């Protein structure tokens, strides 16, 4: 099923409003989800709406949050989200971080007590759109076996980065510290497709290609990914005085409870380190040089990070966004949700 970005955004927003979310907040959540779907990150797109709607309807997302922003130093601040919609809170916190970085050269803003915030690429792109470098990372619930272990301890704990160029193109990457994000497993399940045997393990700790047999995910590059996910947990959890490690709240265990998640934004103003023009020109030069490298067999070209998702977005905006029929049918239905997620084993079939 193909829909336009505008239609998809309206359907998502209307469903979240029906679940009880404020219109302004619902529109931002919809914008972040459409951002993901246009770029092919379907694991963080419209497929998440029913889960969000159920959590909103059951009180697990605060629909009347009292937001507080406190500067703790010239370049540091805490953004208290009062367990509101994570997408809206993360966007507002990044807006404040951008203001601080423009004035002082750098900003580090901790975002406390929010719900799931979706694709981090959206927030770092905010910074790049303002000519700044953006870095964002957030914690998630334990679904990953640490290197050498058999029991999940950390979450997929993603990291995103963006840098502006002298054109409208940007370098952007958004990666889980696992070989793949859990949402990719869900997407494979929704399409009944197999997965590579390097993504996850079954109940016996053995690699599996069946997304329905997954019981834990694997860190990217073994001990290196393990170290990165620990870093993310420390910066977005421990540093902010929030639950961390295997104490991070479950996405599904109790949808009536607030998740109290943490996220951190780091924004850098190139003007405080070099000429802003020189920085952007050199990013453009880097992008062009990467494209000019001779590709090996099986590749049409070497792409810079974010290039392919940017191309997918352009195509989606022209010809429509492909979403699963079942998801579209839910979005156009009268139902708010179908009680599918509360107390659900995240690995359940």
> Can you read off the two tokens belonging to residue 297?
């067999």
Q: What is the DSSP string of 206-273?
A: -B-S-GGG--EE-BTTTHHHHHHHHHHHHHHTGGGT---GGGSPPSSS-TTS---EEEEEEEE-GGGT
The neighbouring-strand residues paired with 138 are: 263
Asked if 157 and 229 count as a contact pair (C-beta separation under 8 A), the reply is: yes
Token pair listed for 286:
């880097």
Strands 76-84 and 200-201 turn out to be unpaired
Among 87, 116, 187, 244, the one annotated catalytic: 116
Distances (CA, A) of 235 to 56, 264, 332: 27, 7, 40
Given a contact cutoff of 8 angstroms between Cβ atoms, the answer to whether 323 and 34 are in contact is no
Q: Catalytic annotation on 116?
A: yes
Helix (H, G, I), strand (E, B) or coil at 154: strand
Q: Which two tokens stand for residue 94?
A: 């990044």
Q: How many CA atoms lie within 13 A of 75 on its CB side?
A: 12
The answer to whether 307 touches 289, Cβ cutoff 8 Å, is: no
Q: Among candidates 233, 195, 181, which has minimal Cα distance to 36?
A: 181
Positions marked active-site? 116
């Amino acid at each position: 099923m193909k829909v336009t970005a505008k239609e998809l955004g309206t359907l998502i927003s209307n469903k979240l409003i029906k679940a009880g979310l404020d219109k302004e907040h619902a529109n931002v959540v919809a914008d972040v989800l459409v951002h993901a779907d246009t770029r092919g990150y379907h694991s963080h797109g419209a497929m998440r709406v029913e889960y969000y709607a159920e959590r909103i309807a059951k009180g697990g997302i605060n629909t009347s949050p009292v937001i507080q922003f406190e500067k703790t130093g010239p370049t540091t601040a805490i953004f208290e989200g009062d367990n509101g919609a994570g997408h809206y809170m993360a966007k507002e916190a990044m807006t404040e971080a951008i203001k601080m970085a423009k004035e002082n050269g750098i900003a580090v803003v901790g975002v406390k007590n929010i719900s799931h915030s979706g694709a981090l690429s959206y927030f770092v792109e905010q910074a790049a759109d303002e000519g700044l470098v953006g870095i964002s990372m957030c914690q998630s619930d334990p679904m990953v076996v640490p290197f050498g272990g058999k029991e999940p301890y950390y979450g997929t704990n993603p990291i995103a980065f963006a840098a502006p160029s002298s054109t409208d193109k940007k370098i952007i990457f958004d990666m889980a510290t696992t070989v793949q994000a859990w949402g990719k497993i869900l997407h494979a399940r929704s399409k009944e497709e197999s997965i590579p045997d390097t993504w996850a393990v079954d109940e016996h700790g053995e690699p599996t290609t069946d997304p329905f047999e997954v019981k834990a995910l694997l860190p990217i590059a073994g001990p290196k990914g393990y170290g990165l996910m620990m870093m993310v947990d420390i910066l977005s959890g421990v540093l902010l005085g929030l639950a961390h490690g295997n104490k991070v709240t479950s996405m599904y265990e109790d949808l009536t409870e607030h998740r109290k998640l943490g996220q951190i934004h780091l924004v850098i103003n190139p003007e405080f380190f070099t000429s802003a023009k020189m920085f952007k020109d050199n990013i453009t030069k880097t992008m062009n040089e990467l494209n000019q490298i001779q590709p090996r067999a099986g590749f049409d070209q070497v792409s810079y990070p974010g290039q392919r998702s940017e191309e997918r977005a352009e195509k989606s905006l022209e010809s429509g966004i492909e979403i699963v029929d079942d998801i579209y049918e839910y979005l156009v239905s009268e139902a708010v949700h179908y009680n599918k997620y509360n107390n659900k084993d995240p690995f359940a079939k």
